Amino acid sequence: VEQGVEVVFGYPGGAILPFYDALHGQTLPRHVLMRHEQCAAFAADGYARATGRVGVCVATSGPGASNLVTGLGTALMDSVPMVAVTGQVPRASLGTDAFQELDIVGLTMPVTKHGFLVESVADIPTVVAEAFHIARSGRPGPTLIDVPKDVLLAASAAHPGAAPSAGRTPPRVGTAVPASGRAEADTQSADSTRTNAPPIERVRELLARASRPVVLVGRGVLLAGVTDTLRRFVEEHELPVVTTLLGLDAFPSEHPLCLGMPGMHGTERANLAIQRADLVLGLGLRFDDRVTGRVSAFAPRAQIVHFDISEAVAGRTVQADVRVIGDLAATLPALARNACCTPLDSWWEELRAWSREAEAFDADTEAAGPLSGRSMTRILGRWIGDRGAIAVTDVGQHQMWLAQELKNALPASHITSGGLGSMGFALPAAIGAQVARPDRETWVVAGDGGFQMSASELATVVQEQLPIRIVVHNNAALGLVWQWQSLTYGERFVASSLSGPDFALLARSHGIPACSVKTVEELTSALHRIDGIRGPALLDVQVPTEEHVFPMVQPGKGLDEMLHGRQRALV
């Protein structure tokens, strides 16, 4: 509570019960009971992404704690500030294979910035403060606090019914276990902007000389809160903008300067722009392999500039010619000041010759009649975007289609698991986002596979009375797996065909109004009906299995070797 936490997402059990007991009769924090600890971590993640605040999840020792692992990894990959609190067996039982004992600090070392095993009650205030500080600072990410049950009990005895008082100066933490090493690297780099005057000067020179520049925008722009600065900067110089999957909501997709998403399922205009550019200005992104395609073929004609808060991230895949390490809140305004550009008319002429639509609208097949994955996400992308709602997607074909089709998402309004690509993410993350932002409409778009991984959270939606709009893209398949087996495994389909329950019936069994739709007309009228519903609602959208997400850059290919719907390789 002293850290400003208002909500925690969790699941109780023996070792963590003293923590739960301390919540009794308290108004803060609110506890949201999830149906699985993985979903508690995803919900804390969605809460954090929707607000920029630290998300908190809670689990008991052993299986409760280990169920958090995927959620922590998801947050680490996507730079989401999170603190996980786990119960542990009493100190005297540590190392004895006690009931529900797992070394969770050891187990989560690679998926957290830092893990703490609390050794005494006196350490708790410092550990909590450090855990929140590390989660927030530098490149944000998850930390874990593991508290033995006897320490929790001693804490309750020391502070019956109240949080520890502020202002105490407790002794230094006994055991602070360095985890992924990211904490140290990031803390050092967080204030390293003082070293950046020369690199920024060099970037200004490169920009002034460039005739084919591209600005590549990642989630760091959102984390630094510089979306307005970015917009002013690129508008002033008419710079083309490409937004990664996690940077989609950092810049409006329909802005005339926006070329779309790059990478494996990026647009022709975005990918070819990068390949033809003479300067790539990367702002707060990791240049991960889904963005770069074959690294050796990435932006072959370009000088590459990489702005990032983390020394550890810069240069890991693509070698940047200039690295600017520091908070974009300081470095981007510093660049924008006095920056100048040559006129880019001929570059824009070249750019406009390529399509920024992932696939052209086909009036014959998309305006009416049976839905496809493409047409349903096109309708939803506009519907969700026009309402300024939050879109939370799962992982798979529907995720890529919606990323291509979502119109003008507001900052912190496109939430998806990018780096880890964790199926089952969408519904629980939307619970976190909706709890965080009751004032915002929140939409889930999930595949039938990913939805089945966390469908038990429908009960949480109802128990917490959250008005989440849920769309299941039901193609009776693990669609993206089907697509890979179709295109790169010679149509040898194995384990990609998927049955499921009647999703509408499943929702109704929870008391959630729901229906199944198959045509454009049915979807459109269902969307209008949902407008009149105050609580949650679910749409089961049935589409054929046989559909590919295009464009596609296959693994090992360069960004200009895209497959299009017509399966024509460009260039």
Instruction: Work out whether 74 is an interface residue with ligand TPP (CB under 6 A).
Output: no
Provide the pairing of β-strand 213-217 with 279-283.
parallel
**Candidate list 230, 314, 477, 562; residue touching ligand TPP; CB under 6 A:** 477
> Residue 293 interacts with ligand TPP (CB under 6 A)?
no
Nearer to ligand TPP, 252 or 479 (CB): 479
Dig out the tokens for 561 from the structure. 């070797």
Task: Tell the smallest beta-carbon distance from residue 415 to ligand TPP (Å).
Answer: 16
Q: 557 Cβ partners below 8 Å, 6+ apart? A: 293, 294, 297
| Of positions 212, 473, 510, 548, contacts ligand TPP by CB under 6 A | 473
Closest approach of Cβ 419 to ligand TPP, in Å? 11
Tokens for 149, please give them.
Answer: 């049950």
Among 240, 282, 373, 479, binds Mg ion (CB under 5 A): 479
Contact call for residue 398 and ligand TPP (CB under 6 A): yes
3-state secondary structure labels for all residues of 422-441: CCCCHHHHHHHHHHHCCCCC
What is the rounded CA–CA span in Å between residue 261 and residue 135? 28
β-pair partners for 134:
none
What are the tokens at 466? 């959250």
Distance CA 107, CA 517 (A): 44
Give residue number: closest CB to Mg ion: 447
Residue 246 near which of ligand TPP, Mg ion, none (CB within 5-8 Å, type-dependent): none
Dihedral sign of CA atoms 225, 428, 57, 439 in order:
positive
Query: Mask 428-467, x = binds ligand TPP (CB under 6 A)?
Result: -------------------xxxx-----------------
Shortest distance, position 566 Cβ to ligand TPP, whole Å: 22
Question: Could you tell me the smallest distance in angstroms from the CB atom of residue 374 to ligand TPP?
Answer: 12
Q: How far is the CB of 479 from Mg ion (least distance, A)?
A: 4
Residue 396 in contact with ligand TPP, rule: CB under 6 A? yes
Nearer to ligand TPP, 281 or 395 (CB): 395
Give Cβ neighbours of residue 436 (< 8 Å, ≥ 6 apart): 7, 46, 47, 50, 51, 53
User: Which residue's CB is nearer to ligand TPP, number 370 or number 421?
Assistant: 421
Q: Is the peptide bond before 370 cis (omega within 30 degrees of 0)?
A: no
C-alpha radius of gyration, the chain, whole number: 24
Task: Tell me whether residue 477 or residue 504 sits nearer to Mg ion (CB atom).
Answer: 477
Q: CA nearest 407: which of 429, 389, 426, 431?
A: 389
- Tell me how far, at minimum, the Cβ of 320 lies from ligand TPP, in Å: 29
540 scored as a contact of Mg ion (CB under 5 A): no
Candidate list 394, 540, 547, 560; residue touching ligand TPP; CB under 6 A: 394
Total binding residues toward ligand TPP, as defined by CB under 6 A? 19
Measured from the CB atom, the residue of 60 and 393 that comes closer to ligand TPP is 393
Please select the residue that binds ligand TPP; options are 52, 90, 411, 421, rule is CB under 6 A: 421
Tell me which residue has tokens 């799962």.
Answer: 394
Range list of H helices, 279-396:
289-292, 328-336, 345-352, 363-366, 373-386
Per the CB < 8 A criterion, the answer to whether 8 and 30 are in contact is: yes
Residue numbers 479-518 binding ligand TPP by CB under 6 A: 479-481
Among 108, 475, 483, 542, binds Mg ion (CB under 5 A): 475
Structure tokens at 408: 């003008």
Task: Name the one range near Mg ion by CB under 5 A: 182-190, 235-243, 386-394, 444-452.
Answer: 444-452
Stretch binding ligand TPP (CB under 6 A), from 73-81, 150-158, 460-468, 474-482:
474-482
With CB under 5 A as the contact rule, the residue among 18, 326, 418, 447 that binds Mg ion is: 447
Q: Kindly write down the DSSP assignment for every residue of 45-112, as one continuous string.
A: HHHHHHHSSPEEEEE-TTHHHHTTHHHHHHHHHTT--EEEEEEE--GGGTTTT-TT---HHHHTGGGS
Q: How many CA atoms lie within 13 A of 440 on its CB side?
A: 28
The stretch among 85-93, 197-205, 317-325, 469-477 that binds ligand TPP (CB under 6 A) is 469-477
- CA atoms of 534 and 258, how far apart (whole Å): 35
For tokens 């550009």, the residue is 341
Per the document, the length of the chain is 571
Residues that bind Mg ion (CB under 5 A): 447-449, 475, 477, 479
Q: Can you give the binding site for ligand TPP, defined by CB under 6 A?
A: 394-398, 421-423, 447-450, 473, 475, 477-481
